[in-house]
Structure 1
């Protein structure tokens, strides 16, 4: 498949969105320009590495900072994921989605150029190099929760055609200089035809975030992203990982840990210890309840991302009370949370969370 054939999304040749004035643009970079920007992809410029390859910090001739994703090896699979990500990013513009600056396809080199996110990802602040600094205070966590919800809602309800991300997780929500959330990494994204409720596809994603109907049957829908987002909310609230290793052989999904505490209304015990008690209890309760209702096993009972935004931003306390009275939170209700341990066999190679380290500047 020719790479250029994928760009049938209403853009003019220079990357400007046709029919709209003053729209941001993307462009084609030369390999020479990206070598210069990243100091020949120097190790000291490396921001992170995953199954896809590496991401490097760079600086263009005009002084603007960029992040460059460089595919590790060329293959038909890598080429397709590269093409999908560029096409999706070229279609969408939203303040809570990572911005495409351009791409490069010279020889077998495949590189995607983004805006540089100086505060890396949620993972680096909850579990990585910045975890002990506790830069994510409670206000920032609430803003990240709402901002990432708005970015995903744009994909589900406002993009044409609608888009399923398929890999929502803490390492794929980046943070700009103001700690605003930017949903990233669209290599697994799927475009949903008008009128379709789901698409059946090969399972891709990350252990701990996969919705059960997707992990077992390959049925991908907007609701699968809602499930993954629910897990992300529980991470933000508690500071725990999506799956905690309790011993060499026992692992506990975060939702299975959180649900019994929520049923007993022990919300304070669920707060990230790194917050040192500096959080708004009513907001913590809201975040946990939305996270759990989103990560329940039955897709038809999950909210849409528009519902999630309303639950976060709505003035009515009645909706939150109705949420807390849902059967999922009854002490005698034994169903509702899917064990991510059960879908480990579905994990794709190359979907490992990106390891991040401090950029030496």
Structure 2
């Protein structure tokens, strides 16, 4: 175990801490990770990403850019370089990493470590070999197989489990604020893992001014965020409802297909179809069959209550998870 005080010369180091059962020191400014101890300097990070080469980019979002990287020793990881404008405050960053580093769950992307040097803030995650749910549902390259309903259902349950843990598994609770298909990553067994959890809170902790930006991604933002910028767990539930619709329909949350629909999005289109008694017509024909139809319709019912306009009418994620698991138990 490294010394609990990191001196100035070590600030640029990335720490991977070994598992320890010893009592944590009261004052600590590095996270307690469960990986074997490794120290990587900023030079190692630059080399691992080939100087943050564009060819290594595997994701780009509101919080920063993600690179596929190979650490000294050959381990493949995902390195997220936080946007400079949103990564202020070294002290706050370190404090928040302490919390996020302790969050362990089978349906959350493991955070291996972090690096803070100069104005740069870098996070290192486990690399997910099957990429994001977004990539599989869009299949823009035409090279991926169609996800059948059993895989999509597995992804729905696992993502719900991970989100329920963030909301209810420990204190302080974490509101994700940016649940979307590109933030649900898939391992080699298509077990889903929620990514970017805690980053919204991390950014808030590092900002010295009150942000007036609406948190989230267009198409996933709950309607109440138009009146208030306050994020809640029920906002995450709404965004998860959109994920369920994507899994059921195979369609994107927004797009030209919905330009003449109330709301101009997937949610509006689905609600209009249901209102007209055409619920079955929203289901993805690529995977719809006699075996999947009933469970898909039941999942659609769960999505609808997650998407209630009134936040108080939405279930909590623990209940969403229970509902989803209950489909298979019947």
TM interval, shorter chain, is: 0.7 to 0.9
Measured on the aligned residues, the alpha-carbon RMSD in Å equals 3.4
Q: Distance in 2 between matches of 1:317 and 1:54?
A: 40
Which residue of 1 is the match for residue 208 of structure 2? none
Equivalent residues of 1:86, 1:112 under 8 A apart: no
State how far apart, in whole Å, the 1-side matches of 2:200 and 2:221 are: 13
How many residues matched? 298
Change (3 A) 1:190 1:154: farther
Question: Is 1:31 aligned to residue 73 of structure 2?
Answer: no
Partner of 1:163: 174
Shift of 1:23: 7.3
Bigger mean CA deviation after superposition, 148-157 or 30-39? 30-39
Corresponding residue number in structure 2 for 1:46: 57
Q: Secondary structure of the residue that 2:309 maps to in structure 1?
A: coil
Tell me: CA distance 1:300–1:248, structure 2 relative to 1, closer, same or farther (3 Å): closer
Is structure 2 residue 326 aligned with structure 1 residue 301? Answer: no
Which position in structure 2 is the counterpart of 1:178? 189
Q: CA shift at 1:268, angstroms?
A: 3.2
Find 2:235's aligned residue among 224, 237, 243. Answer: 224
Distance (whole Å) between structure 2 residues aligned to residue 106 and residue 288 of structure 1:
47
For residues 13-28 of structure 1, the aligned pairs below 5 Å read: 14=17, 16=19, 24-25=34-35
Q: Cα 1:236–1:49, aligned 2, differ >3 Å: closer, same or farther?
A: same
CA distance in 1, matches of 2:33, 2:109: 15
2:150 is aligned with 1:145? no
List runs of 5+ in structure 1 lacking aligned partners. Answer: 5-11, 192-199, 319-361
Q: TM-score, normalised by structure 2?
A: 0.78
Deviation at 1:17, TM superposition (A): 7.2
SS in 2 for 1:58: strand
Partner of 1:64 in structure 2?
75
Q: Distance in 1 between matches of 2:181 and 2:144?
A: 18
Tell me, yes or no, if the aligned pair for 2:133 and 2:186 is still in contact at 8 Å. Answer: yes
Cα distance in 2 for partners of 1:239, 1:63 equals: 36
Out of 255, 268, 275, the position equivalent to 1:256 is: 268
Map 1:267-286 → 2, pairs under 5 A: 267-275=279-287, 277=289, 280-286=292-298
Q: Which residue of 2 aligns with 1:78?
A: 87
Change (3 A) 1:286 1:37: same
Q: What TM-score comes out, normalization by structure 1 length?
A: 0.72
Equivalent pair of 1:29/1:103 in contact (CA under 8 Å): no
Deviation of 1:276 (Å): 6.2
Offset at residue 79 of structure 1 (A): 2.7
Contact 1:88–1:189, Cα closer than 8 Å, also in 2? no
Helix, strand or coil: the match of 1:47? strand
